[in-house]
Structure 1
Amino acid sequence: MHIIKLDATDSTNSYLRKLSASETVDDYTAIITEKQTEGRGQMGTIWSSQSSKNLTFSVFKDMSEFQLEHPFYISIVTALAVLKTLQFSSISRLSIKWPNDILSANKKICGILIENVIKQNKINASIIGIGLNVNQTEFENLPKASSLKILSGKVYDLNELAIAILNNLKDCFSLLKDGKYDVLKAEYETRLFRKNKPSTFKDAEGLMFSGFIKGISDSGNLQILLEDNIIKSFDLKEVSLLY
């Protein structure tokens, strides 16, 4: 694996995307920065992180040899790789808040942003951005955020965590390449936050409704059991889970 360390950059995803557009980048090349000035999350949100305290990095994944019908499996693989890493870091009550936030209990500790590079109507590569709260202990105006240090009381080595995540990404992508879709999807669904629990959601119009998370479709849509005993699928723009 090839790791490039930067003192600061606007966004590791943007940096890696530009790099891969201008030169050949090795599979699993990672860009790690001490400070990210314009970190991005899902749906255009801002990812804020204290300098040198957290793990903010992006990984280049060559997808040219994958026969992938549903791109959401890249999100599944990434979320499971992070979970696998954190399980060995004394972090308990881990779950995935759809689509790919990582929680401990009900506190967010990791966000994932995946941007695919399309060539000839096929995913040629993925830029996988991971923001993991590690040694930061104060999150101003972010009551639902936490970190590994807050949860365990330990100080973590950022490089060791990055290498562990990269190794687990390789293992999980091997399963994907071997077509183990059912295995990956089943493990992801087992880890879904608030699965089979009464939950409140908000739709695109801002209306709230109740339901039970049952799983996901192959395309990554969230499947919710509604009050009239009908399971309906929602994409990321159509629903958000309130918790």
Structure 2
Amino acid sequence: MVGHPFYILDEIDSTNNYAMEQVNSAYVTPGTAWFASYQTAGKGTRGKQWHAQPGDIVALSVALQPAMLPLSRQFMLSVTVALGVCDFLSSHAGDETIIKWPNDIYWRDRKAGGILIENVLRGNSWHYAIVGIGLNINQARFPEHLPNAVSLRQITGKTWDAVTLAQELCKYLDKRLKQLIPANYEQLLEEYKSKLFRWQQPALYRKDEEIFEGIIRDVLPDGHLCLEKDGKMLQLGFGEVEFILSR
């Protein structure tokens, strides 16, 4: 089960780094979770760092052994984890909680958190996946260079206990991961698409320095985004397109 065991770390550079060290140096029970009260060098996608004060965020990493998934279907793990995090946040923030492709968590048009999955391979087999999740919980305000960030405190007006929320999040992840079997792949992907930020809506994007209007029409099983531009369909991989945000 996700969150059994559940370790609380007072201070660490990055929960994903720590989890990776553990699975590379010793046997780790699948489902093991590490929560950090404070990260000195939290990791985001494409090398971005995550900065927050103690108690401000849920910083959680979980070690999984997705043996049921071939490497060719690894995007399904991202889909399933994103659904689990979205389920969790929407239980507190309401049904305006959505997923920004591929796996950021949004409330309305503002970023509430993100997911980083790092894989440990042994030859052609998927030995472990380290799932890192960061959610904004108690920040009252954000710096000017993060105009689209939002916290659960800003949404609800409440202050939250990060450890309690992290343990609750583990239960939501566990429930979703139990659904991750081949017979459910199509259904999970369709649910993921239905919760996407800007799904089937005209909006602005940037690719190769060009800003254009596009419409998200589909997400393929391998994770590629199908974006309609001027009546033509672009298939885009991670990092190949930027969402132009209004703020």
Structure 1 runs (4+) greater than 2 angstroms displaced = 64-69
TM-score (norm 2): 0.93
Q: Report matched runs for 1:1-243 at 5 Å.
A: 1-67=4-70, 69-141=72-144, 142-203=146-207, 205-227=208-230, 229-243=231-245
- Aligned with 1:15: secondary structure? helix
Distance (Å, rounded) in 2 between the aligned partners of 1:177 and 1:89: 28
- Aligned with 2:10: secondary structure? strand
Aligned residues of 1:91 and 1:151 also touching (Cα < 8 A): no
Aligned residues of 1:91 and 1:152 also touching (Cα < 8 A): no
**1:28 Cα offset (Å):** 1.1
Aligned residues of 1:221 and 1:235 also touching (Cα < 8 A): yes
Aligned residues of 1:194 and 1:213 also touching (Cα < 8 A): yes
**1:92 Cα offset (Å):** 4.0
- Aligned with 1:225: secondary structure? strand
Distance (Å, rounded) in 2 between the aligned partners of 1:195 and 1:66: 26
Instruction: Note the residue ranges of structure 2 that are not aligned, 5 or more in a row.
Output: none
Q: Give the partner amino acid of 1:106.
A: D
- CA RMSD across the alignment: 1.4
Instruction: Note the residue ranges of structure 1 that are not aligned, 5 or more in a row.
Output: none
Q: Give the partner amino acid of 2:240.
A: E
Distance (Å, rounded) in 2 between the aligned partners of 1:105 and 1:83: 12
Deviation per CA, 1:42-82, whole angstroms, max 9, x where unpaired?
Answer: 11111111212211111111123434532111111111001
**How many residues are treated as equivalent by the alignment?**
241
Aligned residues of 1:215 and 1:223 also touching (Cα < 8 A): yes
Q: Give the partner amino acid of 2:28.
A: V
Distance (Å, rounded) in 2 between the aligned partners of 1:68 and 1:173: 16
Deviation per CA, 1:123-155, whole angstroms, max 9, x where unpaired?
Answer: 221100000111111211211101001001112
- Aligned with 1:176: secondary structure? coil
Aligned residues of 1:94 and 1:103 also touching (Cα < 8 A): yes
Q: Give the partner amino acid of 1:80.
A: L
TM-score (norm 1): 0.94
- Aligned with 1:164: secondary structure? helix
What fraction of aligned residue pairs are identical, expressed as a percent? 33
